[in-house]
Amino acid sequence: MSETMKAAMMYGPNDIRVEETEKPACPEDGLILKIMAIGLCGSDIRNLTTDSRKGDYPFIYGHEIVGVVDEVGPECTKYQVGQRLFLHPGTYCMECEACVSGHSENCENEHVAKLAGVGGFAQYIAVGGEKIHYGNIYEIPEGVSYEAASLAEPLTSVYSTMENAKVGFPDTIVIIGAGPIGDFMAQLAKLRGAQKVIMIDINQNRLEMAKQFGVDVIINNTDADPIEEVKKLTNGKGADKVISATPANINQAQAIHMVRKGGLVVFHGGVPKGSLTELDTNLVHYNNIWIKGQFGASYEQSKAAFNLAISPIFPTEKFITHILPLDEINNGIQLIRSGEAIKVVLHPWD
Ligand SMILES: [Zn+2]
Ligand SMILES: [Zn+2]
């Protein structure tokens, strides 16, 4: 009989069951990673609570994977048993036109991009030789916790947004959405020298928690007009850069009214599939507003994000409000949805 392992299997929207399933076999040219911590991401929650697989279940999600090498195949020479690794889910071919031009975030090689690791809500995951060859796997230095290293993945897109938007001194930044991504952004904006960070959300809990990450002003847009408030805080001019980091169309529409003439608006969060945002494009035109979309990150940026997550200058532990056993994944989802938790990390072996 083959060995089994514990995994959180998705059987349908909101139907996640932690049960025994077959442990993956070690690939000849790859390895088996024993998962020691796995982050619960906003995108996981979206996937786990909607029909994300169009009926194709059961399925194991989870992509913020860290662990220790438990087994290596005979043809795998790069890693040894006992090495602690962070498995970045993004993989780049570094051969296509986009990769060669320095924009690996737009890698055109779908096969390689799909080597991205999911299946982390489990005790083990198999890592094939191709993934090892293309890389974006990092060794966790001694003294850095598995939990801290797991934040490298959600930090990746944040890092690229901050870098591509050239956030720094003396910017006034508006971040719409005080979820973990918004909180990461606030902290990184401050590290990069932004002068003022304004955070907008509808959840007072989240806003209060955001204050510890360098947020200067919080605005609850259920009881105040966020556009008016931002104008007041910027001498009527608007902020230098406004980042919409929520799944709401309304926030994208509002963002262009909060930015100054010549300012930059970034759409960082995806909105419901198929939905359209109504924008005052004359305002965009006459005020010289630039709008940029941001998804993912380049190879270089994902590497930098890992280095940030494991660096003492970034207070990763402050973001992790809950460490739960994998069995409590449903509880973790609730904690994030209610705004009680910032970042939930699951332990498959507790
Ligand atoms: Zn994630
Ligand atoms: Zn490529």
The predicted pLDDT at position 117 comes to 79
Long-range contacts from 212-218, C-beta under 8 angstroms, 24+ separation = 212/318, 213/183, 213/184, 213/186, 213/187, 213/318, 213/319, 214/186, 214/187, 214/189, 214/190, 215/175, 215/178, 215/186, 218/178
Q: Domains in the chain, ordered, with CATH? A: 4-155+297-347 (3.90.180.10), 166-293 (3.40.50.720)
pLDDT score at 262? 98
9 Cβ neighbours under 8 A, 6+ residues apart: 16, 17, 18, 19, 21, 57, 58, 59, 60
Looking at all shown ligands, the one closest to residue 184's CA atom is: 1
3 state DSSP class of 163: helix
% pLDDT > 70, the chain: 99
Distance 255 CA to ligand 1 centre (A): 24
Whether residue 211 is predicted with pLDDT greater than 80 in this model: the reply is yes
- 129 CA → ligand 2 middle, Å: 18
Q: Is the pLDDT of residue 204 over 80?
A: yes
Distance 136 CA to ligand 2 centre (A): 13
285 CA distance to ligand 1 middle (Å): 34
CA distances from 112 to 109, 129, 290, 292 (A): 6, 12, 32, 26
Chain centroid, CA 207 distance in Å: 19
Give the pLDDT confidence score for residue 115 in this predicted structure.
Answer: 80
pLDDT above 90: residue 269: no
Ligand 2 centroid to residue 116 C-alpha, Å = 13
Residue 2 has pLDDT above 80, yes or no: no
Burial zone of 114 (CB within 10 Å; 0-12 exposed, 13-18 middle, 19+ buried) = exposed
Q: Are 197 and 211 in contact (CB under 8 A)?
A: no
pLDDT attached to residue 90: 87
What pLDDT score does 319 carry? 95
For residue 248, what pLDDT band results from cuts at 50, 70 and 90? very high
Query: What distance in Å separates the CA atoms of residue 260 and residue 172, rounded to the nearest whole number?
Result: 10
Share of the chain above pLDDT 90, in %: 91
Q: What is the rounded distance in angstroms from the CA atom of residue 44 to the CA atom of residue 187?
A: 23
Task: Please state, as a whole number, how many other Cβ atoms lie within 10 Å of the Cβ of residue 97.
Answer: 10
User: How far does residue 32's CA lie from ligand 2's centre (Å)?
Assistant: 26
Q: Which ligand is nearest to the CA of 65?
A: 1
pLDDT value at residue 186: 98
Residue 92 Cα to ligand 2 middle (Å): 5
Distance (angstroms) between ligand 1 centre and the Cα of 199 equals: 21
Q: pLDDT tens digits, residue range 274-283?
A: 999 999 999 9
**Alpha-carbon gap, residue 227 to 200, rounded angstroms:** 10
What average pLDDT does range 247-276 have in this prediction?
Answer: 95
Q: Evaluate if residue 1 carries a pLDDT over 60.
A: no
Ligand nearest to the CA of 181: 1
What's the CA-to-centroid distance between 345 and ligand 1, angstroms? 11
Confidence (pLDDT) at 26? 96
CA distance 148 to 279: 39
Give the pLDDT confidence of 119-144 residue by residue, as tens digits.
999 999 999 999 999 999 999 999 99
Residues within 5 Å of ion ligand 1, judged at the Cβ atom: 41, 64, 153-154
**Of 46, 341, 318, 61, residue with least CA distance to 179:** 341
Length of the chain: 350
- CA of 148 relative to ligand 2 center, distance in Å: 29
Per-residue pLDDT tens over the stretch 8-28: 999 999 999 999 999 999 999
Residue partners of 7: CB distance under 8 A and separation at least 6? 18, 19, 20, 21, 60, 121, 122, 123
User: Comparing C-alpha atoms, which of 286, 246, 303, 253 is closest to residue 270?
Assistant: 246
Centroid of ligand 1 to alpha carbon of 205 (angstroms): 22
- pLDDT band at 272, cuts 50/70/90? confident
Q: Ligand nearest 158 Cα, by number? A: 1
User: Mean of the pLDDT values across residues 54-67?
Assistant: 96
Q: Which ligand does the CA of 113 lie closest to?
A: 2
**pTM listed for this prediction:** 0.93
Residues flanking ion ligand 2, Cβ below 5 Å: 93, 96, 99, 107, 109
Q: How far is the CA of 101 from the centre of ligand 2 (A)?
A: 9
